[in-house]
Every structure is written in structure tokens, then in C-alpha cells.
Amino acid sequence: MDFITLSTLLAGAGITIGIIVPAIGQAMVAREAMKAIARQPEASGSISTNLLIALAMLESLAIYVLVVVLILLFANPLLKYKVGG
């Protein structure tokens, strides 16, 4: 298996893991926020604000993973260290 193929497969695996983990985290945060709003409806504004901030931070993790994978796919800095080339 050549370096480019291996790079592509590992980038695909990396983006898969890097998207699944934040998605699970976002689901857990949203679930707890809905529970909190159900318990205290009068605090829903504050809870919703904090929920959106937490979701934005979790989503930024997925975006960082996407950026790293795109760099490795299209501007691979490790290509010059490839053995045999």
C-alpha cells in the first residue's frame, strides 16, 4: 500500500472518529439541557444560552478535526519524509 492510499484511509478514519465523538457529546449536553429546562422552566433563557455556547465549543472540535484532515490530504507536510521517495 503506497503512502497516498494509506494517508487517505487514515484521514477517513480520523474524520469519522473526530465527528462521532463531538456528536455524542453534543447529544449528551442537549439531553441534560432539556432535563434542566423541564425541571426549571423559568430558567430556560439562561440554560439555552449556556447550551448554545457549549454546543459551539463542541462543534469547534469537529471543525478542527476537519481542518487537520484536509491539511493532511491536500497539503501533506509529511510527504517529504516518506521512505523511498
In a domain, 45, yes or no: yes
In a domain, 9, yes or no: no
Q: Are 30 and 47 in contact (CB under 8 A)?
A: no
Q: What's the rounded mean pLDDT across residues 62-72? A: 92
pLDDT reported for residue 83: 67
Domain limits for position 58: 27-76
The model's pTM? 0.77
Domain count, the chain: 1
In a domain, 15, yes or no: no
pLDDT in tens, 13-35: 999 999 999 999 999 999 999 99
Tracing cell 510527504 back to the chain, one arrives at: 79
Write the CATH number for 37. 1.20.20.10
In a domain, 3, yes or no: no
In a domain, 1, yes or no: no
Q: Which cell numbers hold the place of 47?
A: 440554560
pLDDT reported for residue 85: 58
Q: Which cell numbers hold the place of 57?
A: 465549543
CA 13 to chain centre: 13
* Alpha-carbon gap, residue 54 to 25, rounded angstroms: 10
